[in-house]
Structure 1
């Protein structure tokens, strides 16, 4: 490092650099703020500040290169064949990578090799399947800045699948949607912070909620990109239309502006090589069950709270999909349950039909195992990144489509029998792939051995020349052995020296006079003859011409294939639905799920319900099922000690609702569910460092959001409301929240609490009922029975639970001593007040609250 020139590229005078470094600096100037991977032969090299940063982030050796008058400049590199792994690591750390390729063969270049940035890879613009997570969409989102409205335009796209959605959202909806789709990158404008003391220029930061900035990769774009005229023009350009009236949804103008911002960004990063999108589709969040950010996290829908792992999530418990397309769709459905009863019942029918036909399940599963991710392969075709192996994978996937039709021909569900009619165009395209691409093509499309014989006449001639050339070499070697009398004579090829005749030193006396020495080795001499040299020129010429012609033939074929992209995506969508239906059926059979009754009532009746995740983590049959019977506006107060199973019971019922409303059967003996429009949870709390809120403030903010947003069709889970403050304050808050829900909202609610004072609320409010977690006591020991029964708990058993948790015996003994003393002191105080005719009620908050 001491000998390296660490000057940044923006401060370097290009005239002081070598010609190649001048080329690098010119390209780097156009791609500031990204790490430039500069192709040099078999490596991508990084220079100057990119090399310093890249070496640190990728744990590479930082070396130096002669920079002429600039001295030794920092350099670090990675092999181009292993570049994907290094790029993925940089993206994971929040960096952007520009790929600069050699645009001509270095051997044929006249002077400096031409180089050009072919694409810039960012977290939200990845298309390479090797860099993507197969079971998860990779979304790029954009949010507009709306000054005169409380709503913002929102758009997101997955360029690896073509999905493109827009909406117009309020503040809370925006946060909820961002947390639902978990975009890899969000485009937004910047806003100035308030000027701090001694600060002249205010800091700028993304114009997004603080919680979003803290948890997501946000990219600030120039304000000009968000101008209405500019953004809408980009959409016209991308979809080749003259008017946006073709989309037919003028009420989503803000969403369209966000979509235009995305397209502008993609034009920049993909060097105008846009992938093919699906039609932009607007959506309303009201069509689906609203699950707020807290509920999404606490219910562990797609990852666990503790360590953000997939295993242990609801997705893990019900995911038996065979394809990446199915896994991605299942993830979407879990995060976005339906409210449309007819659509839900349509899914039930498909699942039921598969359950009743074990052979169909087996046959479909075996076929899905043979299907590749054709949704993303279609995108690779559309953006010119597909290679020969991609087409073979596509061919193998499309070949099995008629077999799906044969198996599902007699099924009644429209979700299952979409393959009954043969698509002749797709069949012809599949046959064309088979006819065009060799069975085992190389990864590169520029090195030949890609196109089958019979596709191109001139290519066939060149390949014949190459094939015959190998036969000629074998014949030449045989003739030279006979002519020289040297049996050990060998004809070989070296990339450096070309074709040669190799003879050991022991036989050099027998070398014919027309042999020309070419290279001396330790144990042999290598020679050339005029005849061999002439044949070398013919073969090498045919080889380079053949590879070039194969490349152009393949590119033409790939261009032609683009007209099938939409059809392939439609097939992919149908296969994904089939895969998820099969997954639901397999899960229902394996874990004894039942078909729920879904209707427009406000009932929630679940008999012997089970937690779909925990029952799979426990030994078979050991999970204790529980009933739930809530009819709106009923509120269940649930008491019992910690570790008794209150939180598990609460979550299991929310998960059963979600499973039912995505079209899955549910883990229960029976279930009747009146459609739910929103699910809220207020379970556990920690300080929110991103917004500077304390634990209690977070708890109260979340509770306020629930009370302001819930309806009589919502399902609410409240756990320990008011515990973050004093006992009197906590009881008062919990009491009033419960009252507000029953009197003003009427939502189906489970309210878990340690405030046993709330048990008497049922005397005044018939909508409120008490339930408790049962336990068995044996002296100082307690056993959790995990069963929910009517009635309120009278004790919390906190000291017994602390003992089970492993607190030192001395602490447990002292706790018991203090509690006994407190109970005696309280009893004595009550006795004294009774003798003095004092008001006992004043010291018992539950009574004073009840009287009020």
Structure 2
């Protein structure tokens, strides 16, 4: 659809004559085809434009929610080109959406003598867009990119080298591992790190399955242009932050012994151009990432458990809290807390010691509600994003106001420590208070410098200035400014007398950036002001009437001129101050991380307390202890929704007694919710949060694996069945006896018998071979027979009550097998047309009758066969010459035939005889 923009729109008009438009069309054509994942903007000084049908449609829908603003260059010419023009603010809005939500690349072209590419960005490389993306905005997302390389090492094994670059935290993480041909470990790494973008040497050959894996996890893929190799050691020597006294040489770092990972890091440093940004030099740290520290999560489990919200969901949205586990737990007050919480929920820990510390602190905070409120509302709410302020320092873009905000944090933190010490808890003191004290001690010099340099009296007036005593020339200008301010105050007093506003000091002297100094009175005194010709009104706002006089305007202009001279004069001093402050980047980053950790733990406590039914502390047992007991477990997202009365259920797994539930029951009966509730509770416990139960005993797990709710993935060309086979094969390869597996409706999308066979074999493998905790929801009732041969398998069902007219779902887990799925009754609940339901019942009854007739015929034939067998056994019993082997064979065959006959009487007789034997 192509339509001209309406004349009434407020967006800027593209000022180009016909000749300029033709030249631009030719230039745009020379650029050639671009990837669909890239959007090009053109900066025309007074506005921005995008061109081409794809970019125009995408951007117009983002900014205007409509394609009605798409115009055309030279619409009557054969060589036409669509365009959308944008103001600066709408350009910034579009860039934020494209980079942070839609995970696309952005290029911006600017015209000097000729059009040229000025800067570019991608989801993993936001450096050139930081001012646009994060100016005066909270940074709630990480900025992580990975680079990886794969090398075949005989057979089906591949060696994978991964380098992760977290630009916000200035951190390199390297790891190298052997992986199978399905790249199971790589997927766990991608889930753990949550990168926005991945650099690959190629998307062909060995990298085809890697590309598919990354796309499945929503990671943008970039194949950088090959260029002359940079010297990794030389780059690291400039980028890394070395400890005091440590030789500034990266040669001996153990992390660089991982050759593939090091090669990957070299590519990432080159692609991000880190060395050419002075703000990065001397601030990065490098470490090896140990996957064994974390519970293994695959992408299917992340999706099944709704761990993270949908892209574009912001914590300020009303639905944010109940859409995901992150939303439930994220009650953080600081941007750094939000970012850390996003990491924690994707990185559940396998360290019992760390988890016990977190649980201890959350419990302690819950026991002191006043302290919890004070920390959350009085202190943490006032903490700025120290990480972003530190980055501004490192890039020499910080102002005195930024430095003062850091100073305020340094002042507030001892008060936070004092409040925490009042809890008299040893874990709180060792885990939180002691690190805080150490970092504050390191920042003493910065605090003293700010107190010596910054003019605090000016800050009270809304100005950020260096103390005039720092420089004689500053003192002269300051003296003039003080004299002018006193004159303006005398004018204020005179004005108050002249207007005679009830004898009160009603006239306010105010300073606003665009207006300078002026007077203000309330709206109700407007009539008095208009009668006095000595004053003229500047503007009228909700807060009152702004006005001035000739003298006040003269003083205000002179004051503004002095103020500008003062700022120019102090600039060199400010630069020196910032230069010194950069040296405190390391302790500031550490302080930021500690505040983020405290914010997350406070958030856990608030989430536990504010739930409809408060969460409880889980008792964590060592891996392999073989217990998973959750009493009255609830789903934390569902219970937060309005008009939902959640029905609780329980699970009790004990090693060698029961480690698998096969769950049957009607559609919509709560099977999926039940198994997700268990998986969610286990995840929350491994993050360090309390859990939605009345009692929880949890043996620590090494992985949480899931296969829930697969659907067609048309974009990637995968059917429902193929999606669930890929996910389930990952479970089979990864699960151990220390894992938790949740599987829902496995085997759909193929024939009933094949699906049942696959589901049976997988359930049997998990129960007999893997012996992990498993919740297996299914409509294949045949699988429930596993419980007859495996003592660790128990059947249970979601209860429902049905009669001829009514059908009620109870959502309760009860022992035993549900005899039927009640699909037709559920269809009636969903308000299917009655004629459709009746037709379904008729067809169902026909199939059932046909099956019963067939079963009766088979049973009749089997009975005849059994009667013959009885006659043979009777004859053999009277024959003293019969061979023992022949008699044994007859008895065995007779027993097998009895078992095939679906008779409760014969089954009980056989069970009794087997027990006696």
The question of a shared fold, defined as TM-score above 0.5 by the shorter chain, is answered with yes
Of 144, 155, 160, which aligns to 2:149?
144
Contact 1:96 1:123 in 2 (8 A): no
1:423 aligns with 2:431: no
Counterpart of 1:284 in structure 2 is: 290
**Alpha-carbon distance in 1 for matches of 2:732, 2:636:** 28
Contact 1:97 1:121 in 2 (8 A): yes
Contact 2:380 2:599 in 1 (8 A): yes
Contact 2:334 2:381 in 1 (8 A): yes
1:594 aligns with 2:594: no
Shift of 1:117: 9.5
1:457 aligns with 2:472: yes
**Alpha-carbon distance in 2 for matches of 1:839, 1:724:** 38
Q: Deviations over 1:549-580 (max 9, x none)?
A: 33333232222211111111111111111111
**Alpha-carbon distance in 2 for matches of 1:101, 1:384:** 28
Counterpart of 1:219 in structure 2 is: 222
Contact 1:389 1:440 in 2 (8 A): no
Which secondary structure state, in structure 2, belongs to the residue aligned with residue 820 of structure 1? helix
**Alpha-carbon distance in 1 for matches of 2:796, 2:82:** 70
**Alpha-carbon distance in 1 for matches of 2:748, 2:151:** 38
Alignment of 1:281-430 (within 5 A): 281-303=287-309, 310=320, 311-365=322-376, 366-409=378-421, 410-413=424-427, 414-418=430-434, 419=436, 423-430=440-447
Counterpart of 2:173 in structure 1 is: 165
Q: Cα 1:693–1:77, aligned 2, differ >3 Å: closer, same or farther? A: closer
**Alpha-carbon distance in 2 for matches of 1:537, 1:135:** 41
Shift of 1:450: 4.5
**Alpha-carbon distance in 1 for matches of 2:489, 2:642:** 68
Alignment of 1:470-489 (within 5 A): none
Of 557, 579, 583, which aligns to 1:559?
579
Which secondary structure state, in structure 2, belongs to the residue aligned with residue 326 of structure 1? helix
Shift of 1:451: 3.7
Counterpart of 2:771 in structure 1 is: 746
**Alpha-carbon distance in 2 for matches of 1:536, 1:675:** 69
Counterpart of 2:548 in structure 1 is: none
Counterpart of 1:210 in structure 2 is: 212
Q: Cα 1:185–1:440, aligned 2, differ >3 Å: closer, same or farther? A: farther
Which secondary structure state, in structure 2, belongs to the residue aligned with residue 417 of structure 1? helix
**Alpha-carbon distance in 2 for matches of 1:614, 1:251:** 48
Contact 2:401 2:464 in 1 (8 A): no
Counterpart of 1:581 in structure 2 is: 601
Contact 1:120 1:269 in 2 (8 A): no
Shift of 1:803: 0.7
**Alpha-carbon distance in 2 for matches of 1:786, 1:254:** 52
**Alpha-carbon distance in 2 for matches of 1:552, 1:697:** 65
1:125 aligns with 2:137: no
Contact 2:70 2:82 in 1 (8 A): no
Shift of 1:330: 1.8
Shift of 1:652: 0.7
**Alpha-carbon distance in 1 for matches of 2:332, 2:655:** 35
Which secondary structure state, in structure 1, belongs to the residue aligned with residue 323 of structure 2? coil
**Alpha-carbon distance in 1 for matches of 2:655, 2:214:** 37
Which secondary structure state, in structure 1, belongs to the residue aligned with residue 333 of structure 2? coil
**Alpha-carbon distance in 1 for matches of 2:136, 2:488:** 44
Shift of 1:180: 3.8
Q: Cα 1:13–1:702, aligned 2, differ >3 Å: closer, same or farther? A: closer
1:257 aligns with 2:271: no
Which secondary structure state, in structure 2, belongs to the residue aligned with residue 294 of structure 1? helix
Contact 1:119 1:269 in 2 (8 A): no
Q: Cα 1:422–1:759, aligned 2, differ >3 Å: closer, same or farther? A: closer
Contact 1:326 1:575 in 2 (8 A): yes
Shift of 1:602: 1.6
Which secondary structure state, in structure 2, belongs to the residue aligned with residue 349 of structure 1? helix
Alignment of 1:538-549 (within 5 A): 545-549=565-569
Shifted more, 284-293 versus 584-593: the winner is: 584-593
Contact 2:143 2:196 in 1 (8 A): yes
Q: Deviations over 1:209-245 (max 9, x none)?
A: 22424633323212347x5x64444323322776434
Q: Deviations over 1:756-812 (max 9, x none)?
A: 112222111112111111112243322111111111111111100011112111111
**Normalized against structure 1, the TM-score is what?**
0.76
Of 831, 845, 852, which aligns to 1:827?
852
Q: Cα 1:96–1:386, aligned 2, differ >3 Å: closer, same or farther? A: farther
Q: Deviations over 1:433-479 (max 9, x none)?
A: 3554567999xx9xx96544334332343454566678999999xxx
1:183 aligns with 2:195: yes
Shift of 1:681: 0.8
Shifted more, 720-729 versus 687-696: the winner is: 687-696
Q: Deviations over 1:788-839 (max 9, x none)?
A: 1111111111100011112111111111112122222222233334445588
Which secondary structure state, in structure 2, belongs to the residue aligned with residue 190 of structure 1? coil
Q: Deviations over 1:248-298 (max 9, x none)?
A: 334433323323322222327965553664411211212110010101111
Contact 2:638 2:646 in 1 (8 A): no
Q: Deviations over 1:339-381 (max 9, x none)?
A: 1111211212112222222232222222111111112221221
Q: Cα 1:629–1:61, aligned 2, differ >3 Å: closer, same or farther? A: closer
Alignment of 1:689-838 (within 5 A): 689-837=714-862
Contact 2:274 2:280 in 1 (8 A): no
For structure 1, which runs of at least 5 residues remain unmatched after alignment?
Answer: 15-24, 26-32, 66-71, 103-111, 195-204, 477-531
Contact 1:348 1:595 in 2 (8 A): yes
Which secondary structure state, in structure 2, belongs to the residue aligned with residue 751 of structure 1? strand
Q: Cα 1:647–1:465, aligned 2, differ >3 Å: closer, same or farther? A: same
Shift of 1:401: 0.8
Shift of 1:584: 1.7
RMSD: 4.6
**Alpha-carbon distance in 2 for matches of 1:559, 1:4:** 46
Shift of 1:639: 0.7
**Alpha-carbon distance in 1 for matches of 2:84, 2:839:** 63
Of 601, 612, 636, which aligns to 1:612?
636
Counterpart of 2:695 in structure 1 is: 670
Shifted more, 699-708 versus 258-267: the winner is: 258-267
Which secondary structure state, in structure 1, belongs to the residue aligned with residue 820 of structure 2? coil
Q: Cα 1:159–1:6, aligned 2, differ >3 Å: closer, same or farther? A: farther
Which secondary structure state, in structure 1, belongs to the residue aligned with residue 701 of structure 2? coil
**Normalized against structure 2, the TM-score is what?**
0.71
Contact 1:354 1:360 in 2 (8 A): yes
Q: Deviations over 1:175-218 (max 9, x none)?
A: 33324433233222234589xxxxxxxxxx99942242463332
Contact 2:366 2:605 in 1 (8 A): yes
Shift of 1:623: 3.4
Contact 2:43 2:49 in 1 (8 A): yes
Counterpart of 1:490 in structure 2 is: none
**Alpha-carbon distance in 2 for matches of 1:821, 1:537:** 95
Q: Deviations over 1:138-189 (max 9, x none)?
A: 2222223546571322222332232432222532222333244332332222
**Alpha-carbon distance in 2 for matches of 1:50, 1:815:** 48
Contact 2:170 2:280 in 1 (8 A): no
Q: Cα 1:50–1:141, aligned 2, differ >3 Å: closer, same or farther? A: farther
